[in-house]
Amino acid sequence: MKFLKITKEKVLDIFFPDHMKCIICGNEISHMKYDICDRCYEHLPFIVGRTCERCGQRIKTDDRFCDNCKRSGEFFFTRAFSPLQYTDTIVGLVHKLKYHNHQYLAANMAEVLYDKLSDEEIKCDVIMPVPMMDRKKKRRGYNQAELIAQELAKLSNMPIDTTTLIRVWEDNSQTALTSKERRENVRGCFKCTSKDYKGKNILLIDDVYTTGSTANECARVLRKQGRVANVYVLTFAHSEENKNIQGLTNKDK
For residue 234, the SS3 value is strand
- The pLDDT tens digits of the residues spanning 144-171 come to 999 999 999 999 999 999 999 999 887 6
Nearest to 205 by CA among 152, 154, 252: 152
Return mean pLDDT, the chain. 86
Position 70, amino acid: K
**CATH tag, 45-252:** 3.40.50.2020
Reported confidence tier of residue 174, pLDDT bands at 50, 70, 90: low
Reported confidence tier of residue 195, pLDDT bands at 50, 70, 90: confident
pLDDT over 80 at 129, yes or no = yes
Q: Where do runs of H (alpha helix) occur along the chain? A: 2-15, 38-42, 67-71, 88-99, 105-120, 134-140, 144-156, 179-186, 213-224
| pTM: predicted TM-score of the whole model, two decimal places | 0.85
- Asked whether the beta carbons of 92 and 24 are under 8 A apart, the reply is yes
pLDDT at 7: 52
Round to whole Å and give the CA distance between 222 and 112: 26
Helix axes 105-120, 88-99, angle to 10 degrees: 130
Round to whole Å and give the CA distance between 253 and 251: 6
**Percent of the chain that is helix, strand, coil (3-state, to 5):** 40, 15, 45
Domain boundaries, the chain: 1-43, 45-252
DSSP letters along 73-108, please?
A: ----SSEEE-SEE--HHHHHHHHHHHHS--TTHHHH
Write the CB contacts of 21 (distance below 8 Å, at least 6 apart in sequence).
27, 28, 29, 35
For residue 235, the SS3 value is strand
Reported confidence tier of residue 68, pLDDT bands at 50, 70, 90: confident
Mean pLDDT of 193-211: 93
pLDDT over 90 at 6, yes or no = no
Mean pLDDT of 97-114: 97
First to last CA, the chain: 54
Position 47, amino acid: I
